[in-house]
Chain A
Amino acid sequence: MPPDAFARKRRTELGVAAVVAILVALLPIGLHDVYLQNVLILTLMYAALSQSWNILGGYCGQISLGHAIYFGIGAYASTLLYTHLGVTPWIGMLAGGALAAVIALILGYPFFRLRGHYFTIATIVVAETGLIAMINWDYAGGAQGIQIPYGPDSWLHLQFARDKLPYIYFALGFACLTWFVSWLIEDSKWGYWWRAVKDNAEAAESLGVVVFRSKMAAAALSAFFTAIGGSFYAAFVSYIDPDSVMGFQFSLLIALPAVLGGIGTLWGPALGALVLIPLTELTRSYFGGSGTGLDLIIYGLLIMVISLARPEGLTSLVALLGRKLITREPASAGSGASS
């Protein structure tokens, strides 16, 4: 691909994203059902969270199953700052993001000496430890959690008791932001370095990549955006307790869309969230329960089907269909000419 073709491909990606974002922005016009609005908000939020996870897990290849800790840090940081000090959640989410990034660096210092499964296990353990710490921290509400006091609807306080629309647009903005960051990453120094680290760390080092520092940068960026999602979620549900923002299910729900859609790809997380989150919500409402059983079985089935049929994720399916369409066109034109 000559240089201008590459530039065109990058511009096309931006264009497609803009069209998708505008279509989603128009969706609420015909969507008045509160339940469906909730599904839309959660889908957008998990698309953004998984896109954030994808920075570390997808591009850099460091599979974390402990991102719930960053999600929880974001939720607690903005909520505590708001309820105790009256700080607006907008500043709270930046503080939470910064704190999560610092924690990610502190954890990364020992953890990035571990490889593969050992790293993943360490992330699970530390997230569980964080969960237990929050349960026992009274200032943060302990096991009972914190209720965000109701006030009038306000963008400043990110509170909308009667109207879901602002949350939809916040979640959409968040999804667009994380997508755009990933788009920037894909043609940046860090992006190439992270993928090199994932594919072969020793070869990367021989080409001047400082592997340890690369992993640290990916972890900090990934944690920052995950925590912003946590702050948003806390404002959205307006009541948090340790299990409802730091439970292991969040680590899974943050990682799975990217895995399902295509790990380390630009569109994978969004595509995965689009399939996974509505499916989760629908099974919950049709089969009842709090999602402790059936939705997990469905995750398992989905992962099995995908790993057997399309190990590279759903985006590879889209690419395959695209290739088929392109190759069919000249073939049918040829047969038309001969007849």
Chain B
Amino acid sequence: MSAPFLEVRNVTRRFGGLVANSEVSLTVNKGEILGLIGPNGAGKSTLFNMIAGLYPPNEGRIFFEGKDITAMSAPERCALGIARTFQVVRSFDSMAVIENVIVGSLVRSASAGEARRAARRVLELTGLARRAEAPASELTPPEKRRLEIARALATQPKLLLLDEALTGLTPSEARDGVELVRQIRQDGVTIVMVEHVMEVVMPLVDRAIVLNLGKVLAQGSPKEVVRDEAVIGAYLGERHRAA
């Protein structure tokens, strides 16, 4: 059997006395959209940040395409093909939109000119082409979310980690976002997304993993997960049972 695309094995992360993740194990299959859900404080962001390389776990290991990446820095993971967005957008505000994306595309380009051409293609894919020369600081909030995704895509990732990329959008903006995520997956990128809004995530993801109190509570298809007794008790609440 070949190694899983991404494997998180018995990972524990503590912040002082707080155990944010406790012996979490999960695998991500190539080509799928995986939703990482759970109530506030469940440890979603901690797990997400460990996969992205912001900080290492205290225990356990993380494997990407069979390689142990547990101790790798964020730039090394980016070179391997892991990209992320941030929950609170972190655009490079002194730079133009296209320059923001060039920073990402440089990692796969031989020259700045090539990076600029690649960035232009990504802007067209993400619907930001007509804002290419605007200062990033002048973008609207939904445009900034798109820029986060565009920048990450420019690194040509195999695995894209989206941290609440669809949160805080209006319903129509969220629908556009969902379309974009589907498009990205169709282009062969595996996606792990942390989300709060169940209505947005559930139709989009192939599989959902529910975290609660730093542990995996349930996993399976969206339909299975929303019917899971433990999930309803801990997260969804009784009103969901009726639905």
Contacts of B117 in A (CB 8 A): 3
Contacts of B54 in A (CB 8 A): 202
Q: Of residues 100 to 122 in B, which have CB atoms within 8 Å of A's CB atoms?
A: 102-104, 106-107, 112-113, 115-117, 120
Interface size class of B (residues with CB under 8 A): 35 or more
Tell which of B53, B79, B99 touches A192, judged by Cβ atoms closer than 8 Å: B99
Contacts of A3 in B (CB 8 A): 116-117, 120
Q: Is the CB of B92 within 8 A of A195?
A: yes
Q: Is the CB of B133 within 8 A of A1?
A: yes
Q: Is the CB of A208 within 8 A of B116?
A: no
* Most-contacted residue by chain A among B86, B102, B103, B115 (CB, 10 A): B103
Complex-state Cα separation, A286 to B87, whole angstroms: 58
Contacts of B209 in A (CB 8 A): none
**Taking A1-B133, A199-B93, A202-B54 as contacts, is the C-beta distance between A207 and B103 under 8 angstroms?**
yes
Q: Is the CB of A207 within 8 A of B93?
A: no
* Stretch of B70-78, B211-219, B221-229 lying at the A interface: B70-78
Name B148's closest neighbour in chain A (CB-CB): A203
Interface string of B219-243 (1 = CB under 8 A from A): 0000000000000000000000000
A184 to chain B, nearest CB (A): 10
Q: Is A209 an interface residue (CB 8 A)?
A: yes
Contacts of A192 in B (CB 8 A): 95, 99, 102-103, 106, 112, 115
Complex-state Cα separation, A1 to B90, whole angstroms: 24
Count contacts on A: residues with CB < 8 A to the other chain: 24
**Taking A6-B116, A206-B78 as contacts, is the C-beta distance between A199 and B84 under 8 angstroms?**
no
Contacts of A202 in B (CB 8 A): 54, 86, 90
A224 to chain B, nearest CB (A): 22
Interface string of A189-200 (1 = CB under 8 A from B): 101110110111
Interface string of B129-140 (1 = CB under 8 A from A): 000110000000
Q: Is the CB of A1 within 8 A of B103?
A: no
Q: Is B62 an interface residue (CB 8 A)?
A: no
Q: Is the CB of A206 within 8 A of B133?
A: no
Q: Is A188 an interface residue (CB 8 A)?
A: yes
Interface string of A9-30 (1 = CB under 8 A from B): 0000000000000000000000
Q: Is the CB of A264 within 8 A of B94?
A: yes
Tell which of A1, A203, A204, A208 touches B132, judged by Cβ atoms closer than 8 Å: A1
Q: Is A205 an interface residue (CB 8 A)?
A: yes
Tell which of A195, A200, A206, A208 touches B99, judged by Cβ atoms closer than 8 Å: A195
Q: Of residues 53 to 90 in B, which have CB atoms within 8 Å of A's CB atoms?
A: 53-54, 73-75, 78-79, 83-84, 86, 90
Contacts of A304 in B (CB 8 A): none
Q: Is B155 an interface residue (CB 8 A)?
A: yes
Complex-state Cα separation, A30 to B207, whole angstroms: 78
Complex-state Cα separation, A202 to B132, whole angstroms: 23
25 contacts between A and B (CB under 8 A): A1-B132, A1-B133, A188-B112, A189-B115, A192-B95, A195-B92, A196-B92, A196-B103, A199-B91, A199-B92, A200-B92, A202-B86, A203-B86, A204-B92, A205-B78, A206-B52, A206-B53, A206-B83, A207-B78, A207-B83, A207-B151, A207-B155, A209-B75, A210-B73, A264-B94
For the complex of A and B, list the 3 residue pairs with the smallest distance between their C-beta atoms, beginning with the closest: A208-B107, A208-B78, A199-B92
Beyond known contacts A192-B115, A207-B151: 5 more, CB 8 A cutoff:
A3-B116, A187-B113, A195-B99, A203-B91, A207-B107
